[in-house]
Every structure is written in C-alpha cells, then in structure tokens.
Amino acid sequence: MNIVSYPSPALKEAATEVDPKRDPDLKRLIATMAKAMYAAQGIGLAATQIGVLKRVMVYDLGEELVALCNPRIVACSSEKVLVEEGCLSVPGVDVPIERSASVTCEAEDISGNTIRIEADELLARVLQHEIDHLDGVLILDRATLEDRKAAIRRYNELIQSR
Ligand SMILES: [Zn+2]
C-alpha cells in the first residue's frame, strides 16, 4: 500500500466519521495503515494518507501500536511550541510548525469504547498532525508563507533528483 504524497488532491479531502461497531473493514484498514507506517519508518499515519477517507489514525512512539477512530482534540494548552515537523506525505522536507504544547484527545478504540488521552511533547504533536490530515490539512498549510515556499521548492528539487 503506497502512501499518497503531495501534491495529490486526495490529501486535501476531509475524512468522514466511522462507527467502529458497524464497520467490518476497520480491522483490516488499521493493519494496512500500520504496515504502511512501519514500512516508511513513520511514527503516525492517517487513513487519508493511504487514500481512505475515514477518520482513523495510528501511531507508535516506540511503545505500542495505537489505533484511534474519530480522534478529536477536546482541549488544548494556550502554550504553543514551534518544532520542525516531517510528514510521510511530504517526504524529505521538515517544516517549522507551531502547535499546542499539550492536548486532550478523545476517540473510540476499535471496539467502540471511548478513550481519552492526555498528551504532551511528541504525542501531542502527532495527534494534532494526524487529526489535521483527517481534515485535509498538511504541514505545508500550517507553515508560514515563507517556510511553505522554501519547503515546496526543496520538495520539488528532491523529486526531480530522484
Ligand atoms: Zn503527515
């Protein structure tokens, strides 16, 4: 399963909510996403990145694979942090992105149970990044105009040199 890369219009699409109790394909979707994420040595992946418009994301920060259905940020810190961020859909390019330092995320697990995650540091960033994907938003959309231009130039150079 290939990861969709910029500038595919598919990455601009917003995903729709899933019903974990009634979606027989979810288990297979999550397995496919995990496989694609690990193959690309990523730490998070949204379903939209493999062309599936369902609100599902996976992440693994080195502890265990976690799959979230319908993840949403229900609270976020007013403190923001600016960190260089990469994306499997914009490979080879890091862009400085300002995000909330900590967030509270609610989601359903694959059985439909509600889960609540208090996250800071890298996990807070991964959650905000993947939920952005589910809304059709990329790091390039979050960057300043100057950073965006530089990133796209660099990205196009990388593609041409491949
Ligand atoms: Zn990404």
- Does residue 3 form part of some domain? no
CA–centroid distance, 87 to ligand 1, in Å, is: 4
CATH assignment of the domain containing 114: 3.90.45.10
Residue 162's pLDDT is 78
Listed as ranges, residues in the chain with pLDDT below 50 are: none
| Residue 138: partners with Cβ closer than 8 Å, 6 or more residues away | 6, 11, 87, 89, 90, 132
User: Does 134 map to a domain?
Assistant: yes
Q: What's the pTM? A: 0.97
Q: How far is the CA of 11 from the centre of ligand 1 (A)?
A: 10
Q: Please tell me the total count of domains within the chain.
A: 1
**Model confidence pLDDT, tens digit, residues 34-61:** 999 999 999 999 999 999 999 999 999 9
Residues with CB under 5 A from ligand 1 (ion): 87
| Active-site annotation, residues | 130
Tell me how crowded residue 153 is: count the other CB atoms within 10 A of its CB: 11
In a domain? residue 157: yes
Dist CA 49 CA 4 (whole Å): 5
CA of 88 to the centre of ligand 1 (A): 5
What is the domain range of residue 25?
Answer: 9-161
Task: Report the separation in Å between the CA atom of 139 and the middle of ligand 1, taken as the mean of its atom positions.
Answer: 7
Question: What's the pLDDT score for residue 61?
Answer: 98
In a domain? residue 112: yes
Residue 39 within a domain: yes
Q: Is residue 85 part of a domain?
A: yes
